[in-house]
Structure 1
Amino acid sequence: MKTFTDQLGISHSFATTPKRIVSLVPSQTELLYDLGLEESIIGITKFCVHPFHFKLTKKIVGGTKKVHYEKIRLLQPDIIIANKEENTPEIVEELSKICPVWVTNIISIEDNQQMIADFGVLFNKRTEAQKWIDKINFALADFQQFIKDKPINKVAYFIWANPYMVAGGDTFINELLKLNKFENIYENNDTRGGAERSVAKYKGRYPEVIIQKMRIQGDPDLVLLSSEPFPFNDEHAFELGRYTHHAKTIFVDGEMFSWYGSRLLKAFAYFKKIHQSII
């Protein structure tokens, strides 16, 4: 019997290497595939779009916030892969009645690398995991060299409309914004309006914001509209632009800013393209 500890500090014991995996997180499904675990993955969410063919070859067990417990139970998994942000404590607790639930918690790039290393040990894919860690570390060092002389730009990163919501602090998105020398005006989840301050309105990692107050809350140089989870369009860009002093609006690939795991390797080249477009 071997015991391993997940990123919430919870210990899980296995008599043998887990062979039947249900993944409830799209980016982690992609990582498991890239580690060579395609045959072991038996269940995924409807949002697990990479690799594309999984929608035809794997059992769909619901979404990230609403899963079909009976479908998962019937799959007889050895382990379920979840995430602190994507999946609720209630989901994890209920699924724990079926089999061990391994929960990741990714805020920083260091957390991301630890997750990959953990999967390498947990699924006996140490060599594959180390290759991904090395490739990401190399690409990170290259990007840090690229970005070191770039100016700082203030940004607002929008993830939703009706109501408008943004990425705040203590998120993986915010960490990647900082890596890009993008100063997130909503990092502290608070307004800067003095007497108008309303802390309650800006609580949470993805706070709802009043776009009419963008200027007094930081007045971004760039407004980034994520491709997921909301389909922003030109009308949203025009509306948001009205409440800044000539900020440039950029539609960005949300996967590159929010997907951890192996996707991070592709993100650095994508970030370079963004900086080349804002010169």
Structure 2
Amino acid sequence: MTAIPNETMAIIAGGGHLPQLVLEGARSMGLRVVGVGFAGETDPSLADSMDAWQWQNLGQLGKLIAFCKKQGVSRIVMAGKIHKARAVDLRPDWRAAKLLWKVKNTQDDVLLRAITGELESEGMSVVSAMDFLPHLRSPEGVLTRRGPTSEEQADIDFGWPMARQIGALDIGQCIVVRKRTTVAVEGLEGTDATILRAGELVGPGCVVIKLFKPIQDARLDLPAVGPKTIQTMIEAKASCLALEAARSLFIHLEESLTLADKAGISIVGLRS
């Protein structure tokens, strides 16, 4: 990505470490970076690293746009997790309420595309976090010392096309399979809670499958895994993770693989 000197970029920051990584990538390109965060979601320490910062509530679209215009923002990145259960209960301002009235539903991709359209109507380009973190693209192939067993591979072969169908319906990015049976499907609770639920339901040996939704805009809500994902799999006694190579983010890859190898977990990156 070509950066213009002193250009201002905004990060709409959810939870997790991804917003900080995007900030570091943008700074390395010479960009001025401002941010917007949400209480209870965003790491408070992120505010101290920004050139300008605004805390706000979910649903305050007008406040977000006003801040970005005041700061001279030309590009925007959405990075980090927002707990979907909280998003369902958002209280929209006038600008957001007007937008919600126009959209068909508030499923992830529909809503994010609508918000993107509003931001771009104000002259700001929404760009992918991947533009600033190309080195975090999930690699292809077996990533751990141990590859999938024949039983795990059978579960991957069973679950992969099903996960794509679920993604096409904008339900979630993750499913969990064991012995060619769908154990858990990601909904509002997010990936980690889905993995834990699967472990509670059927015990050890689950295969976790996470991939890019076929309908997904590559600038928005990229699948991401990292050490917390692996720790959750260890807690749930899941045995294998299959994720989509190149179109997912793998945060802190080496740390994650070390954790996985110690626990005997297999991780494999696949292309659709």
> When the two structures are superposed, what TM-score results if normalisation uses the length of structure 1?
0.46
> When the two structures are superposed, what TM-score results if normalisation uses the length of structure 2?
0.47
Larger Rg: 1
